[in-house]
Structure 1
Amino acid sequence: MSNLEQGQLSTRDYILHLLKTKGAMSTKELTDELGITVMAVRRHIQSLERDKLIDSKMVRQSMGRPTAVYCLTEHVEDFFPRKYHILTLELLDELEEHFGASAVEQLFEGRKDKLLKKYDASMQGKDLAERVSMLADIQNENGYMVELEKINDEQYLLKEHNCPIEQVATKYQHACRCELKLFESLLGDAEVTRTDCLAKGGQRCTYSIKKKKK
């Protein structure tokens, strides 16, 4: 990493980059690399351990006592960029080129049907409030950063501040249509309307959910 790139990172972030690029390192090695005091390095290490981003293990030395080295945990995965969407788009483009747009749409429909099968049983016997709450939990677990606002007992706003498939949905809008249909199926007796969409340049994806009139 260049000095410029290092300067653009906090010390905490730079430690993560060092462990990613160099592998496990001791406190002394980190101190030498960072050029700060041992106490400062230890404070950052304690913070990163507390957040479960790094872990320690004891390593035997050729001479002297074993020493602790630090390495990354699986919880740090989201810290480093992974451009999975590029591969996904390339594969979808290939599918569309060889089999047509309908093949891509069938793929999204199949994904929607699998998600419906996965979650529908747990929704059965629940009222609208419970279903909406469960839907928010499902979307949060899948990385959508949901904010749920209750307007009244029969109306809610479900706001998704993040879309894990935004780059894909921007090009293939059928993904968004399938999400809307999934919500309608899971919520049962509710009218679901998307009023804002990240894939169309919106600030968030917002769904208005209203109980259907009898």
Structure 2
Amino acid sequence: MKKQDTFDQHDGGQSSAATGVPVQVTAEGRTRNEVARLLLEQGPMTAVAVAEQLGISPTAVRRHLDVLLADAEAETREAPRRGPRGRGRPAKLFLLTEQGRARFGHAYDDLAVAAVRFLAEHAGDDAVRAFAESRVAALVEPYRDSVTSEAAPASRAEALATALTREGYAASTRQVGAGEQLCQHHCPVAHVAAEFPQLCEAETEAFAKLLGTHVQRLATIARGDAACTTHVPADTPGDEARSPNGGTTA
């Protein structure tokens, strides 16, 4: 049976008796991964060239390429012309973006852990702590004005969630009892923080200073929780509890 026939059969939406999961989902994902891998290994390529390599129709390939483009995993450029300029549009070449290459994994996490481990071994825990504080300061400083311009802690937490989302943390807030919970549904440094909790500790302290109130970290992705959750109380401490830099002395 040709690959084209197999693809069309899977496209029909049959289900796997063993798992109950539609085969269509598995086949679509597998074929899209093959398209992406070909772009990784041989790109930039035209849709026709991808189709020829995989033995499936150009229409099917273009459907997968459209999804990769929509997800910012691929981009296009015009193919260089050879010979006299003819009629019609120049062919499109497809290639993976950095986001698209990430689906095949990378060693960034391992490299980061190794770097911080080296820092701890050769410069000590104080150096790791200083690194953690420097990192989170660089993260939140660009948004200090937008957060501190809000008066209430709940509004500040919402502004901070917006800032964190822009930095890739997929953050949100929700009211819980007499306060707000700041939830970070993604943590780009969780792999490192699992070994070096100083990153989480420095982040919590920076949030407290930025929000102008004592906060409590309830859960972290680094410890295996579903999200990093920070409780932000509704009441703001009195001025006597404030530190000169606008944070709290707690």
Q: TM-score range by the shorter chain?
A: 0.7 to 0.9
Does the 8 Å CA contact 1:54/1:72 hold for their aligned counterparts? yes
Structure 1 residue 8, shift from structure 2 partner: 9.8
- What is residue 36 of structure 1 aligned with on the other side? 56
What is the DSSP-based 3-state SS (H/G/I as helix, E as strand, rest coil) of the residue aligned with 1:171?
coil
What stretches of structure 2 of length at least 5 have no aligned partner?
A: 1-26, 239-250
In the TM superposition, residue 171 of structure 1 has moved relative to its aligned partner by: 0.7
Secondary structure at the residue paired with 1:203?
Answer: coil
Give the aligned partner of residue 21 of structure 1: 41
Q: Is the 8 A contact 1:191 1:212 kept in 2?
A: no
What is the CA-CA distance between 1:20 and the residue it aligns to? Answer: 1.0
The answer on 1:48 being equivalent to 2:73 is no
Superposed, 1:1-214 pairs within 5 Å as 9-52=29-72, 53-61=74-82, 67-127=91-151, 128-151=153-176, 155-188=179-212, 190-212=213-235
User: Which structure shows the bigger proportion of residues in strand conformation?
Assistant: 1
How far apart, in 2, do the equivalents of 1:124 and 1:203 lie?
Answer: 28
Mark the CA change 1:176 to 1:48 in structure 2 (over 3 Å): closer, same or farther.
closer
* Cα distance change on mapping 1:62 and 1:11 into 2, 3 Å: farther
Moved over 6 A (4+): none
User: Equivalents in 2 of 1:107, 1:73: separation in Å?
Assistant: 30
Q: Unaligned 5+ residue runs, structure 1?
A: 1-6
C-alpha contact (below 8 Å) 2:162/2:172 kept by paired residues: no
Q: Compared with structure 1, are the counterparts of its residues 119 and 67 closer, same or farther at alpha carbon in structure 2 (3 Å cutoff)? A: closer
8 Å CA contact 1:119–1:186 kept in 2: the answer is no
Per-residue CA distance 1:45-93 (angstroms, 9 max, x = gap): 3333344423141332469956433223455354342221211111112
Count how many residue pairs are aligned between Structure 1 and Structure 2: 206
Query: Secondary structure of 1:43's partner?
Result: helix
Q: Aligned residues: percent identity? A: 29
- 1:59–1:69 CA contact under 8 A, matched in 2: no
Bigger shift: residues 133-142 or 55-64? 55-64
Q: Residues of 2 paired with 1:60 and 1:199: CA distance? A: 51
2: CA distance, partners of 1:43 / 1:112:
41
Please give the root-mean-square deviation of Cα atoms over the aligned residues, in Å.
2.6
Residues 1:169 and 1:24: Cα distance change in structure 2 (over 3 Å): same
Residue identity in the other structure for 1:207: T
| CA distance in 2 between partners of 1:165 and 1:61 (Å) | 46
